[in-house]
Amino acid sequence: MIRRKPIQMLSSFRNRMILIFFVIIILPFLLFAYYAHIKSIEGIMNANTTIQTSYLLQARKNFEIYLNDVNDQINVLIGNKRIQELLEREPKNPAEEESFTVNMLTVLYQTTPLVDAFRVRLFPIDPRTYPTYMSTIGESETVVGEEWFQRSKASISPTWHLSEPARGKSARPLLMYVKRFSGLYDQTPRGIIAADLSEDQIKRYFSPSDQVEDQKLLLLGEDGTVLYDSTANEWTGKPFPARSYIDAREDGSESLEIKGNTYLATSVGMDSEPWRIVSLTPMEQLTGTIDEITRLLVIILIVYLVCCVGVVAYITVNYTQPIVKLVRLMRRSESGDFRFSAPLATRLDEVGWLYRGYGSLIDRIEGLVEEASHSERKKKELEFQVLSHQINPHFLYNTLESIRWKAENHGRTDISEMVSALGNLLRLSLNSGKEITTLAREIEQVKAYVLIEQARMGKPVRILYIIDEETLAVPFLRLLLQPLVENAIEHSVRQNFEQGKIVLTGRTEGRDVVIELSDNGNGIPEEVLRRLEADEDTRSAAPGASRGGVGLRNVNDRLKLYFGSAYKLSIETGEGIGTRITLRHPILREGAQSTSDLLR
């Protein structure tokens, strides 16, 4: 047994190829690869350092100009005479405080859009004296005790604070610029301005190149905390992993080992703030070409080409020809001739296994043909059952029409309208079995559903339709809008009939139809939003999972299934701000009747 083992190993085609190429190619290339590696790393680091340093210097210049502009815009806001007058004295009673709130919000509504920031908030120097105002802007009076507020209150210079709001307000961290201001003609502190810079605004100045995958651009604070991470804020709010690199505080590049990955790190310091801009480029993504290595590679490849000719001849005789014979047998099988003879099935290598496997495949095909014949008969039976059940919707339409007619004869117009709306809703929902309808029919279905809901609840639903005329005739996937309107009624109108309202708008943007559904309710629960993006197995396995958000998930999953993840629902929601759902639907070709025709 021991003597036969090497012979058995060499009978494998794979083992033969490994042995041949190891002797002819692998050993020489091991020596060549070491030399190429040294030269490549040297060229990569030098070239990338020059490019990244130039880019970071330009990014630093642009970002500092932006920070100066924000500071100037804040100064203009602080110098507003009306704001100064409102903060000159504290309100003495609730009526004065309410008047202050209205006037201050009016001024801020007119002036804050001039500040290039995600959000601008103005806090009185003592927020506890202005409970109504603080409640109106969605802030707690306890903000006076927060560290960033106290630090800004005690400093005449602007300060920075990295806030990470809870989901529902903002899903992304915000870099907050905070500045205390006093009166125009005295040094008495009047209030604090807080301007939030979002990820999108910072990204304008720190966006990695698309040519290198997994490249990171970081903005680091004075203590080494990551203030901004270009890769979806992965490290934002956390200390930079390589502390020794930050402590050096020198511009330049070096290789860093971070979490098991090697990066080429390039950094520059900012002039206006004690921050650093760092670029992390994965070494494995960088490529370079060195002329000396290229010339040597060409010479080696020529030598190897000669060697490979002999290898190809060997492979042709021993392996290619037997495979060609097997291909001929497969072509005969394609024409329905399953007679099989295996002259090489006794070989012990992979070619022998192919012939034996092909024989097993032929036996399996014959079984599948028999099974397909049985399935075809079963399919015919199912089609007959489907045809026999097609009368049911027509029977239901006729029954509803009879009920409506009888209700009208007895003077019950409310019952007649409700039955008519139900029949219309059923007709539009079924859509004659077609998956594709039009936006106009979808809107008509929504109106029928709203009419039924109004009859059920006994109160009117405040809903406004703003649809561009040219969008009504476009082909549209059915049953997309009604679940969204149902969700809006559930989270807005049912909770407040007097104030609850829904706005449904539709317009065309490029090659898409954009539908927006807004309400002023309490927002969608966070648990429902989490399940919206979870896969089916995760939803089913979640302990205590409820059926909340089934309609939203159905619409979201169908959009992604038919049109791709770029067309999933976009939801902005939160307590106090209501909900806005944006649905993008591609403009389909004319005549599309089913999902198999979509985007064809």
DSSP string, 385-445: HHHHHTHHHHHHHHHHHHHHHHHHHTT-HHHHHHHHHHHHHHHHHHGGG-SEEEHHHHHHH
Cα 198 to Cα 58, 116, 175, 233, distances in angstroms = 21, 10, 7, 11
- How many whole angstroms from its chain centre is CA 204? 19
Pick the closest to residue 162 from 145, 178, 179 (CA basis).
178
Report, at the CATH architecture level, how domain 460-597 is classified. 2-Layer Sandwich (3.30)
Place of tokens 């992993």: 241
Q: Which long-range contacts (CB under 8 A, 24 or more apart) does 287-290 make?
A: 287/44, 288/40, 288/43, 288/44, 288/47, 289/43, 290/36, 290/39, 290/40, 290/43
**pLDDT mean by block of 10 residues, the chain; 600 residues:** 51 60 64 65 73 86 91 90 88 89 91 89 90 89 89 89 65 85 86 89 79 80 86 84 76 81 85 88 65 66 68 68 71 68 65 72 76 68 46 50 62 65 61 75 88 80 92 88 88 79 93 93 83 61 52 85 87 86 88 54
Q: Is 23 exposed, middle or buried (0-12, 13-18, 19+ CB in 10 A)?
A: exposed
Give the pLDDT score at 600: 42
Give the pLDDT score at 282: 81
Neighbours of 432 (CB within 10 A): 8
> In the chain, how many H helices and how many E strands?
19, 16
Per the structure block, which two tokens stand in for 248?
A: 């050096």
pTM above 0.85, yes or no: no
* Contacts for 277 with CB less than 8 Å, ≥ 6 apart: 56, 59, 60, 63, 206, 217, 218, 219, 220, 267, 268, 269, 270
Query: Strands, DSSP E only, in 103-209?
Result: 119-124, 159-163, 174-182, 189-197
Q: Which long-range contacts (CB under 8 A, 24 or more apart) does 527-530 make?
A: 528/552, 529/167, 529/571, 529/573
What is the rounded distance in angstroms from the CA atom of residue 568 to the CA atom of residue 582? 9
Element (H, E) at 457: helix 439-457
Place of tokens 């043909």: 369
Pick the closest to residue 535 from 490, 565, 572, 570 (CA basis).
565
What is the rounded distance in angstroms from the CA atom of residue 58 to the CA atom of residue 62? 6
Give the pLDDT score at 385: 47
In DSSP terms, which residues pair with 519 in a beta bridge? Answer: 502, 579
Element (H, E) at 47: helix 27-78
Give the pLDDT score at 389: 44
Give the pLDDT score at 357: 74
In DSSP terms, which residues pair with 187 in a beta bridge? Answer: none
Per the structure block, which two tokens stand in for 471?
A: 């969008």
- How many whole angstroms from its chain centre is CA 275? 30
Task: Tell the CATH superfamily of the 79-201 domain.
Answer: PAS domain (3.30.450.20)
| DSSP category for residue 273 | S
Helices 481-488 and 550-563 meet at what angle, rounded to 10? 150
What is the rounded distance in angstroms from the CA atom of residue 431 to the CA atom of residue 205? 50
* Cβ atoms of 484 and 517 closer than 8 Å: yes
What is the rounded distance in angstroms from the CA atom of residue 372 to the CA atom of residue 376? 6
Place of tokens 């009185």: 124
Q: φ and ψ at 111, to 5 degrees? A: -105, -35
Give the pLDDT score at 392: 45
For residue 353, the one-letter residue type is W
Neighbours of 70 (CB within 10 A): 19
